[in-house]
Structure 1
Amino acid sequence: MAPWSGSTLWAATILLLSWICAAKTVTYDFNVTWVTGNPDGMTERKVVGINGQWPLPIIEVDKGDQLIVNMHNGLGDKSATIHFHGMYQNGTNEMDGPSMVTQCPIPPGADFTYNFTVNQNGTYWYHCHTDFCYPDGYRQALIVHDDNAYFHDEYDEEFVVTVSDWYHELVEGIAPDFLSVYNPTGAEPIPDAFLFNDTLNSSLPVKPNTTYLIRIINIGAFVAQYFYIDGHNFTIVEIDGVYTEPTEADILYIGIAQRYSILVTTKNSTDQNYAIVTVADSVLLDTIPPTLQLNNTNWLEYNASAPHLQANITVDQASDLNPFDDFTLVPYDNMPLLPDPDYEITVAVNMEVMGNGFGYALLDNISYTAPKVPTLYSVLSSGNLSTNSEIYGEFTHPFILEHNDVVQIVLNNNDGGSHPFHLHGHNFQVIQRAPSYGPTFYDYADGDPVPYDPSNHTAFPATPARRDVFVLPPQGYFVIRFVADNPGVWFFHCHIDWHLSQGLGMLLIEAPTQMQERMSIPQQHLDVCQAASVLTTGNAAGNTENFLDLAGQNSQQSFLPNGFTARGIVALVFSVISALLGVVFIVVYGLSDLKFHNKENPEIAMVIENLPKGAAETTVVNDYKD
């Protein structure tokens, strides 16, 4: 290749300097506290607010900006963090946010600064990544504006739309019943409502004959939703921060944590408003309470004085919705299929009842269990043992990735439910999936699992879709590829928060040698660990003397003996309950029989009369006296 000429080099220098000058520092100060909210108008409850307000503020930056978020945990009774979902954090892995992966949980009263450069564009969001905290309202959009987007001049205004599920009860009240011997099948808690921009029955005011960019984000904890606008088609231009070739569609299926940007051109007339319809994927729900409204209407409002009519759709009709298949989208940059992988990981989703009778989620036989030292800190304190996966603990399910390797993950689903999987630190090419969206999506749910067969599959797409969250079909599979070009500890997990709490995740430890060369932990982060009483050096068990000694590591629950299944556990639980009820009835009826003979048997009468006050049998005695 010919060397750059002086004029070319000068032009490139000017371009670089102009970009540096345009970039700015954007600072947010977040005081995270409890406030009250009532988004569906049914139940007022505590929610996680920022600076005394909820819904939370939208973070907005331009591509190239430095983003600083100074967080103070003022919750008083809960630890917290922030994960900036979809941010690659290239070179700033310590700012990624998941507790015990890249940082310690931030205890009440502590401060923590997130500071990183945003060298990407598109639609993202931020949320708590500690225990169950984001379903309590700790989630909101993060938008990266890009004046150079290929569609930038094609729209006049933009809207941010979030859809989510909502619970009337705090997660701390729901969680004990979810992970419980009384819920061995792992049935997820049923939401009480489905929200649109954290409310119901809202409108997006529009002008006629105008094109709008609408950014749609599912910030829920559990349920995917369908999305469409009556009387309008739209053009998809972005998924999960990846610009796509403009593609017309009329219905979207938006899994938890997925994002779409669409262009919508309004009609010339202003004589009516049009329903924006969101429909919860009811297949994910074990039960549907009669009070739960699955189908919700908001409006593309052309005329505030015109009627705002509810969309006419029933639950049965919802199953006939045929959404656009995101697998077919082509990235605008036309990035070709990555070459054959240097490293392949094949794992399967399993839902199991473990030895304590609780329902857990596993990848193969491992239910993710957090270590005693944040895994990033184990990497940085382990010297030449950092490339040995054993030091990170068996139950974090760690995989070591070599720098710049092409990595392929084959994810099979042995469960009858779908799972939106998210990879931190990367987006990925989606190169295979079965079954597809639409009428076939739930085809495998009631049959046997169909795993990926590397010797028998359709051709991989030449320019695969890329995103950072992809939905694993029920009892089907998907295959993804990415380049391990971002040293760090990256979480790969189901984004249904209930499933993550059950252990449905694993760690990718990418280029640990390069991590040690390039990374250090800010002192403030270490101070937070000290305040939280969390170790900052050592292996997964906190051992600094012998990194290969994992004695005392946090362990998952033991497995049930062979022959026990979830159905068997349910039967066992109810058998025990039935047996106890039987004993109670025998005692009651037995003593009831005695009362008719106690006149003839003074000894029995004396025994009954001397029963302790408050005993169950006292009722029988009192009945006889009356």
Structure 2
Amino acid sequence: MAKLAQMHPCLLVVLLFAGWTLAKTVTYDFNVSWVNANPDGLLERKVIGINGQWPLPVIEVDKGDRLVVNMYNGLGDKNASIHFHGMYQTGTSDMDGPSMITQCPIVPGQSFTYNFSIDQNGTYWYHCHTDFCYPDGYRQALIVHDEDSYFRDLYEAELTLTVSDWYHDLVEDIRFLSLYNPTGAEPVPNSFLMNDAQKSSFPVKPNTTYLIRFINIAAFVGQYIYIEDHTFRIVEVDGVYTEPAEADMLYLAAAQRYAVLLTTKNSTEKNYPIVMVADAELLDSIAPTLQLNNTNWLEYNASAPHVEAVVQVDSSADLVPFDDINLIPSDGMALLPEPDHEIEVTVVMGNLRNGIGYAFLNDITFNAPQVPTLYTVMSSGNLSTNEAIYGEYTQPMVLKHNEVVQLVLNNNDTGAHPFHLHGRNFQVIDRAPAYGKHFYDYHDIDPVPFDPNNHSAFPTVPSRRDTFVVPPHGHYVIRFVADNPGVWLFHCHIDWHLAQGLAMVFIEAPDAIQLTHHIPQQHYDVCRAAGVPIEGNAAANTKDLLDLSGQNTQLPGLPSGFTARGIVAFVFSCISAFLGMAFIIIYGLSEPQALQKKDSADEDVTHESVPAGNAEQKTAAA
């Protein structure tokens, strides 16, 4: 600053102006509508496109830019929104995108402008966050370039590779939350894609270092990824720069991202398979036609053979990827101090009274409020810090500004769950069991919750990311500082599990939200078009915010024993069964006597001899 003060005033103005002009506004106009596509070559179907195209456009900005996305919902029959996954949305949680949390659903024929600054860097993506619609194709990469990254001079070119699962049926046609699916078994995909295609080739030059970004934009299935005879140097995970770490294989759960440096070979004699192996442990059933192992190619020579990879394992669970808990952030951020606020939640899968399978955090399955939670904050005055106004079934957690929060997630389910926290990344300080061959160690035993009195030592510089996987019957522990006032959803990023209610809401510094957030009038206009209230508590009560009568609630659970109606039904079923058995016995005992009388009568009618071949005629005559 002293040197700046000594500069000529005109020069200082020029330099400051030059700094301001580095940041720019990047604008995208999105007309969201239905188009047709056939990415796996097996079936053409409707997908959600943008501006008449699918795959969707990749959003690219530079760190410090302002991003403006003017979205028009031209679907005609579906509501929509956009969540910019991994964006911190500092001061702008109204731009975060999940319907009924930070905005109203955008109904067909309405427009909505997302407008926010991006003061972060790395690999992200965007997707629909309304009515579980992104399996229908509404998802794509979002890249924030950073010319000042510590590894910028180490590579010559970039390559972005998305991986995803693919369904031949529209979400609305899949019987998931249904009595036909009482176990809650997730729909099994029909295929798996890379960059929304299969068997693709990605040209590279020899002896060249590339920055490759991997993004799992799937609705469900995680992927193991490796490139034959090549090694990755991990430099970023979920937007967090890391100290370089070598890896032969990565595992990407739904919503996770990695950026790696890869140096190509000094030869063009052959092409190398980019191998995707679907995490089959997530699938309840596997159709014979489902290709679990898929090959694309790092193409050195278009004329050389493109050979399919051969995966030498009996099960995907035998693969050993790099364990992300071992990554060290390059900024060296130390372990946060002991928490001011600890939250402990447990994942449970089960059924409610209607027989449908749901997902629960601490026995609560998420039910959306009648007013978007952010709008309840803005209209609640000095009651904004009272958790009760946000509704019991959003499972709200009000956080104080700048407090250290520790969240313990125990998993009582036999499946893995990638949980994402909106608005920030977090320190991962404990997880059990580890990745690789031990990841499914607890699958066949009772759940192992986190024990605060008996755990491994927390790392001094913990890994950080925004989506982390809790193992089957295992647990994890995360920490973060509540330094970003806003309303933030915490949920499993398997979209089917979100549909089942595996989510909760953090309301961070609500009194500060009221001071920092300025919601555009257009957003309220969208609510009116959707018929959604914009004021009041979770039950849309504006007169008494503590009266939650009429809030959306979950159904009662299945009874642990027989109800009165069940007892009556059981008694009458037993009586009916006994009566039925009695009639069968009586009928069985009486039938031979009748036949005997009938035979005696036949003997009185005739005594002539009848040939065997004419027995049928005798019976008829009798």
Q: Provide the C-alpha distance between the structure 2 equivalents of 1:454 and 1:36, rounded to a whole number of angstroms.
A: 52
Q: Which amino acid aligns with 1:150?
A: Y
Q: How far apart, CA to CA, are the structure 2 residues paired with 1:50 and 1:182? A: 34
Q: What is residue 539 of structure 1 aligned with on the other side?
A: 537
1:75 and 2:75 are equivalent in the alignment: yes
Aligned to 1:554: 552
**Alpha carbons 1:70, 1:114 under 8 Å: kept:** yes
| 1:609-624 alignment runs, 5 A limit | none
Number of the residue aligned with 2:241: 243
Name the structure 2 match of 1:512. Answer: 510
Whole-Å separation in 1 of the counterparts to 2:518 and 2:528: 17
Q: Distance in 2 between matches of 1:108 and 1:146?
A: 36
Preserved CA contact (<8 Å) 2:317 2:436:
no
TM alignment of 1:56-67, pairs within 5 A: 56-67=56-67
How far did residue 19 of structure 1 move?
3.2
With over 3 angstroms needed to count, the CA separation of the structure-2 counterparts of 1:563 and 1:161, relative to structure 1, is farther
The residue that corresponds to 1:84 in the other structure is 84
**Which residue is 2:113 aligned to?**
113
Distance 1:6 1:235 in 2: 39
Kindly indicate whether the alpha-carbon contact (under 8 Å) linking 2:313 and 2:319 is maintained by their aligned counterparts in 1: no
**1:493 counterpart (476, 491, 494):** 491
Aligned residue in 1 for 2:134: 134
The one-letter amino acid paired with 1:5 is A
Residue aligned with 2:57, SS: coil
Query: Could you tell me whether the CA contact under 8 Å between 1:161 and 1:217 is conserved in 2?
Result: yes
Structure 1 residue 278 corresponds to structure 2 residue 276: yes
Aligned partners of 1:295 and 1:315 also within 8 Å: no
1:294/1:315 contact within 8 Å kept: no
The secondary structure found in structure 1 opposite 2:527 is helix
Q: Distance in 1 between matches of 2:259 and 2:363?
A: 38
Report how far residue 86 of structure 1 moved. 0.3
Deviation at 1:367, TM superposition (A): 0.4
TM-score using structure 1 length: 0.88
TM-superposed deviation, 1:39: 0.2
Amino acid in structure 2 at the alignment position of 1:359: G
Q: 2:612 — aligned with what?
A: none
Q: Do the aligned partners of residues 15 and 98 (structure 1) sit closer, same or farther apart at CA in structure 2, a change above 3 Å counting?
A: farther
Residue by residue over 1:122-181, the C-alpha shift from the partner in whole angstroms, topping out at 9 and shown as x without a partner, is 00000000011100000000000000011111111111100000000000000xx21112
* Residue aligning to 2:395: 397
**Residue 318 of structure 1: how far off its partner (Å):** 3.1
Which position in structure 1 is the counterpart of 2:2?
Answer: 5
Does structure 1 retain, via aligned residues, the 8 Å contact 2:62–2:144?
A: yes
Q: In the TM superposition, what are the counterparts of 1:428-577 in structure 2 within 5 Å?
A: 428-563=426-561
The alpha-carbon deviation at position 315 of structure 1 amounts to 6.2
Aligned mate of 1:184, from 182, 193, 198: 182
User: Quick check: 1:295–1:314 contact (8 Å CA) kept in 2?
Assistant: no
Aligned equivalents of 2:246, 2:365: Cα separation in 1: 40
Q: What does residue 372 of structure 2 align with?
A: 374
Aligned-partner SS, 1:410: strand
Check conservation: 1:35, 1:48, Cα contact below 8 A: yes
1:311 and 1:298 map into 2 onto residues whose CA distance is 9
2:345 corresponds, among 334, 347, 369, to 347
Native 8 Å contact 1:29 1:70 kept in 2: yes
Shift of 1:204: 1.0
- Which segments of 5 or more consecutive residues in structure 1 lack a partner in the other structure? 565-571, 598-626
Q: Normalized against structure 2, the TM-score is what? A: 0.89
Contact 1:351 1:362 (8 Å CA) reproduced: yes
CA distance in 1, matches of 2:502, 2:15: 45
| Partner SS state of residue 316, structure 1 | coil
The 5 A counterparts of 1:407-446 are 407-446=405-444
**1:14, CA displacement in angstroms?**
7.6
Q: Distance in 2 between matches of 1:8 and 1:96?
A: 40
Whether the 8 Å contact between 1:183 and 1:358 is mirrored in structure 2 is yes
2:332, 2:461 within 8 Å by CA — same for their partners in 1?
Answer: yes
Contact 1:430 1:465 (C-alpha < 8 Å) held by counterparts: yes
Letter in 2 for 1:501: A
* Aligned residues of 2:81 and 2:129 also touching (Cα < 8 A): yes
> How does 1:249-264 map onto structure 2 within 5 Å?
249-264=247-262
